[in-house]
Amino acid sequence: MEAATVPAPPTSPRDSVSSWPLRDRVGYYACWAAGLTLIAVAGAIVLYMAFRGAQYFDLGMFVESPNAALDQSQSGGFRDPLIGTALLLVLSTAIAAPLGVTIAVWLTEYGRPSGLARTVESAVEVVAGTPSIVLAMFGLVFFQQQWISFLTFSSEGSNVVLGRSFIAAAAMMSLIALPLVVGATREALNAIPGHVREASYALGKTKAATIRRVLLPAARPGIGTGTALGMGRVAGDTAIVVVLLGAVMQINNGAGGSVFGLFRGLGSTLTSYVYYNSPAGEGLAPEKAYFAAFVLLLLVIVLNFVVTRIARGREQPWTR
């Protein structure tokens, strides 16, 4: 057999870790330790929350509204916070996704004048770096202006503008998601080779038609990834909910029973529910807080799973 005639490669003395210099060995084991520690931490969080969540598992929690009661058996479930989270996700995504895609398209496909493009890039970075509590404070000041009072909650017969509503919270939440949408979309657009754009121009198409019919469909996985990442961040934020949504126990419809009234209303999300029910807040229903936290964790894990799935079908079909 031919394979037998091939001599085995000589073993290098460096093949065994124990023979490495001390410095290399320390670095090698540090890498292992770092990876294993992270696995341990992530595993501990998920397992602990799963354990506590399962302990207080109660399907009724999903359909009962929370109540103000010292007795835990009377304090209800987290129906309203769940609806609040969903509503905030929908509203903020509806703002962040189109805005983010538009900004990314302008930056990658036009970007002139370049000074303006650089300023827009910096602005996106500033928004990305702003802590959500700062966004919340700014949002409160902004939405307390009289001329946009129709967007926020007001109690009947009162002229006081509280500056709080689902709309106000979603507007500020969208700023959290926006940089992620912009970043992922730009990356996807930049990954499309120039000759694909040129192929469209060479067929007598304008730049606008090329963007709409070729580039955006090709960038769809990137847009999806950025949007799902942004939704994960929105679902997990607390500061904006507490400041701009009121974090009230039950959804408080702003003006009558209309959908717009709901948008003007106050509410809470799973994050604020967990906060107020855990020992960190008022601590009246820690078991329910654990279960809600587990549901929230699952939601974010599912969103991240969606991101991975989208990204997997994302290899570039074209060569450069």
Partner 1 sequence: MDALRPPEAPREEQDVVLGPPPPVRRIVVDGTPTVVAPPAANGHSAPLAPGAIGLAAPVRRPQPSPGPKVERMRTESVTISYGEKVAVDGVSLPVRQGEVLALIGPSGCGKTTLLRSLNRLVEITPTAARAGRITLDGEDIDRMEVTALRRRVSMVFQQPNPFPMSVFDNVAYALREQGSRRPGKEALYNHVGDALVRAGLWDEVGATLDHPALRLSGGQQQRLCIARALAARPEVLLLDEPCSALDPRSTQVIEELILKLREEVAVVIVTHNMQQALRIADHVGFMYLGELVEYGPAEQVFGSPREERTREYVGGAFG
By the rule CB under 8 A, 31 interacts with partner 1: no
The smaller minimum CB distance to partner 1, of residues 108 and 174, is found at 108
Q: Give the number of C-alpha atoms closer than 13 A to the C-alpha of residue 174, restricted to the C-beta side.
A: 20
Task: State how far the Cα of 66 lies from the Cα of 49, in Å rounded to an integer.
Answer: 21
Spatial contact of 190 and 108, defined as CB atoms under 8 Å apart = yes
- Which residue among 57, 110, 150, 201 contacts partner 1 (CB under 8 A)? 201
199 near partner 1, rule: CB under 8 A: yes
If the CB atoms of residues 160 and 208 are measured against partner 1, the closer one turns out to be 208
Q: Binding to partner 1 (CB under 8 A): which residues in 176-195?
A: 193, 195
Closest distance of CB 114 from partner 1, Å: 11
Stretch that binds partner 1, among 82-90, 213-221, 235-243, 297-305 (CB under 8 A): 213-221
Using CA atoms, how far residue 311 sits from 156, 161, 182, 221, in Å, is 48, 44, 16, 7
Nearest to 171 by CA among 228, 245, 223: 245
Q: Name the minimum Å distance from CB 195 to partner 1.
A: 5
State the helix-helix crossing angle for 166-190 and 79-105, rounded to 10 degrees: 40
Residues paired with residue 252 on neighbouring β-strands, in sequence order: 266
Q: How far is the CB of 206 from partner 1 (least distance, A)?
A: 6
Of 131 and 317, nearer to partner 1 (C-beta) is 317
Q: Of 118 and 195, which CB lies nearer to partner 1 in the complex structure?
A: 195
Work out which of 36, 213, 260, 302 binds partner 1, going by CB under 8 A: 213
In the chain, which residue ranges form alpha helices assigned H by DSSP? 2-5, 22-55, 60-63, 79-105, 114-129, 132-143, 166-190, 194-201, 207-210, 216-236, 239-244, 259-264, 270-277, 286-312
113 binds partner 1 (CB under 8 A): no
Q: Give the separation between CA 273 and CA 246, rounded to whole angstroms.
A: 12
Q: Does 203 bind partner 1 (CB under 8 A)?
A: yes
In angstroms, give the least distance from the CB of 46 to partner 1.
36
Nearer to partner 1 by Cβ, of 196 and 298: the residue is: 196
Distance in Å, CB of 109 to partner 1, minimum = 12
- Distance, in Å, from the CA atom of 152 to the CA atom of 278, rounded to the nearest integer, reads 28
Whichever of 199 and 284 has its CB closer to partner 1, that residue is: 199
Shortest CB 204 distance to partner 1, Å: 4
Decide whether 25 or 195 has the Cβ nearer to partner 1. Answer: 195
* Residue 312 touching partner 1 (CB under 8 A): no
CA–chain centroid gap for 266, Å, is 21
Q: Which residues neighbour 96 within 8 Å (Cβ) at sequence distance 6 or greater?
A: 173, 174, 175, 177, 178, 181, 227, 230
Q: Which is nearer to partner 1, 55 or 206 (CB)?
A: 206
Site for partner 1 in 217-256 (CB under 8 A): 217-218
Beta partners for residue 246, in sequence order: 267
Q: Is 146 in the site for partner 1 (CB under 8 A)?
A: no
Residues that bind partner 1 (CB under 8 A): 193, 195-196, 198-206, 208-209, 213-214, 217-218, 317-320
